[in-house]
Structures are given as C-alpha cells and as structure tokens.
C-alpha cells in the first residue's frame, strides 16, 4: 500500500497545482472542447479549479489511509474512485450551468 500512497501524493501535488492555477483564471489548462460555449469564463475557471482541489483533498485522505493500513486494503482505491466519480458529476453539472 506504500506504493499507492506515494502515487497518491504525486497525484495530489499535480491536482493541487493545476487546480490553483485554473482557479486564478488561467483557462489554458482546460481542454478547448469544454470552453466552447461557456458564458462566464472567470467563474467557470474558479469552479473548475475548486473541483480539482476537492479531488486533491480526497487523494490526501486516500494517501493517509494507504500509509496507515498494515495489510493490503482496497478501501483507499475505492474511495479515490468514488471521489473521481463525484468530481466528474459535479463538473458535468457545472458545465451545464455555465453553457448557453
């Protein structure tokens, strides 16, 4: 489980860095197909960055769980998978809210 924890820490660093950059209004990291019909780009960037930071927080919880478990457990992997699904659903709902 230590390898999964190390992978999660690296993913958390990347998610937090990308989320912080996007949250400040830099839309260059967001794919173009998501930006085509956005009406309020600064607000969309803020929300998109917040969602990535939320996924980073879930990743921190999974890393801590994987480092503290003595034996192999699929719980951190399942929780991170559920966190990814939650963020995808929230991003879809936010995209519908900000498109024309």
- Taking only the tens place, the pLDDT of each residue in 43-75 is 999 999 999 999 999 999 999 999 998 888 889
- As a whole number of angstroms, the distance between CA 62 and CA 47 comes to 23
Full-model pTM: 0.88
Q: Residue 2: which pLDDT band, with cuts at 50, 70 and 90? A: confident
> What share of residues in the chain are helix, strand, coil (percent, to 5)?
80, 0, 15
pLDDT at 52: 95
Nearest to 95 by CA among 36, 19, 52, 55: 36
């Amino acid at each position: 489980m230590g390898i999964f924890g190390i992978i999660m820490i690296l993913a958390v660093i990347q998610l937090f860095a990308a989320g912080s950059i996007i949250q400040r209004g830099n839309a260059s990291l967001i794919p173009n197909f998501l930006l085509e019909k956005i009406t309020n780009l600064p607000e969309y960037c803020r929300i998109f960055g917040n969602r990535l930071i939320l996924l980073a927080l879930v990743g921190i919880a999974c890393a801590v769980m994987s480092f503290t478990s003595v034996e192999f457990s699929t719980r951190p992997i399942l929780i991170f998978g559920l966190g990814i699904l939650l963020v995808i659903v929230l991003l879809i709902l936010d995209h519908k809210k900000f498109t024309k």
